[in-house]
Amino acid sequence: VMTDRGSASWRAPSNIALVKYWGKYEGQIPANPSLSFTLSASHTTTTTHFRKQSGTASFPTFDLLFEGKVKADFNPKVRSFFERIIPYSPWLKDFHLEINTENSFPHSSGIASSASSMAALSLCVLEMERLLYPSMTDDVFLRKASFLARLGSGSACRSVEGPLVSWGQHEKISAGSDLFGTVYRGSVHEVFRDYRDTILLVHKGQKTVSSTAGHSLMKDHHYAKQRFSQAHSNLSLLLDVLENGDLEGFARIVESEALSLHAMMMTSIPYYLLMKPNTLAIIEKIWEFRKETEESLCFTLDAGANVHLLYPANREDKVLQFIKNELVAYCQKGQYICDQSGQGAKKL
């Protein structure tokens, strides 16, 4: 039986997609399957204090503090998140929540916080739900947390567990679902068990076009059908590469996915660009470096200008040297974040 008041605290990481989710149907159903590395250093910590509202309520009330301060511009996002999840967790409407949230990475660094923040908030909600239904198994807990996170921000459903999570149906992933992320349980070569992601901060400003707008531009996109089928086949190829440890194959697929994502933006109506000149300068440097040294590093991009450098942990010394010598010059204020693949969210 649920107490009238209490608190829940979770930390959830960001994630970086290797095969990208871009385009969705009604109800946050992805147009194609995706697969990501769960990250570790880039995360959101959320603590929720809750108490029962007096009388009968039709909607939860909440106060939101971001890094200890009231941040009213986040309220509509949280409100519409609650609207979407109330049908699945109707008990929530009787409560008042005080939500305290903070990110490990600098605000508006161009690192998307929607995945980590929606995952952390969903886990807090589920923690409350577990008090109400104490017989809930861990499996159900994680699955429903991912399900709710998806309703907040699609890619957030891949931020609950780790280190490799898929979302969406694919013939080679039997556990795959459109409704929540699942840990990829297929065989994974040793080289991919400890992977680094160094995030080069190229541009810290607000995105000119939101991901929500980007997804909806896929609806009438000239290349939508081709893109969704490309994602399917790239995921197929990637699963083979993950099994056999082919780092060149990995780079080919992952870089193709990043550039295809941005190609969709450049060919939608209206068209737009999220890459910056320094994004391209970094990509060319990476290709040069790879040609010269045969080091196994590759890049990927999110819906933004920052560059994620992916490489095996044992290449770290070489790659960090390269970053310091050649790439830092293209980063805003010389900033980059050292992250790595991780195990998923943690209860605090």
Residues that bind ligand PMV (CB under 6 A): 17, 20-22, 34, 114, 153-155, 211, 215, 261, 302-303
Question: Smallest gap, in angstroms, from Cβ of residue 88 to ligand PMV?
Answer: 19
Q: At what angle do helices 114-132 and 138-152 cross, to 10 degrees?
A: 140
Encoding tokens for residue 260?
């295809």
- Answer yes or no: are the C-beta atoms of 313 and 194 closer than 8 Å: yes
The whole-angstrom distance between residue 278's C-alpha and the CA centroid of its chain comes to 23
Q: Which is nearer to ligand PMV, 130 or 215 (CB)?
A: 215
Nearest distance in Å: CB 152, ligand PMV:
9
> Considering beta carbons, is residue 143 or 150 the nearer one to ligand PMV?
150
Nearer to ligand PMV, 101 or 155 (CB): 155
CB of 9 to ligand PMV, least distance (A): 23
Q: Which two tokens stand for residue 198?
A: 């160094």
What is the radius of gyration, based on Cα positions, of the chain?
20
What single string gives the DSSP state of each residue in 301-337?
Answer: E-SSS-EEEEEEGGGHHHHHHHIIIIIGGGSGGG-EE
Give the sign of the dihedral formed by CA 310, CA 314, CA 320, CA 322: negative
Q: Nearest distance from residue 294's CB to ligand PMV, in Å?
A: 29
- CB closer to ligand PMV out of 21 and 299: 21
Q: Nearer Cβ to ligand PMV, position 20 or 130?
A: 20
Decide whether 47 or 109 has the Cβ nearer to ligand PMV: 109
| Two structure tokens written together for 6 | 């209490």
Smallest separation, CB 162 to ligand PMV (Å):
14
> From the CB of 93, what's the least distance to ligand PMV, in Å?
25
92, 112, 206, 273, 302 from 210: Cα distances, Å? 29, 11, 9, 12, 12
Nearer Cβ to ligand PMV, position 274 or 286?
A: 274
We find the least distance from the C-beta atom of residue 225 to ligand PMV, in angstroms, to be 18
Q: How far apart are the C-alpha atoms of 68 and 64, rounded to whole Å?
A: 9
Nearest-approach distance from CB 300 to ligand PMV, in angstroms:
9
Q: How many helices (H) and strands (E) does the chain have?
A: 8, 14
Q: What are phi and psi of 53, to 5 degrees?
A: -80, 150
What is the rounded distance in angstroms from the CA atom of residue 206 to the CA atom of residue 200? Answer: 16
Nearer to ligand PMV, 170 or 215 (CB): 215
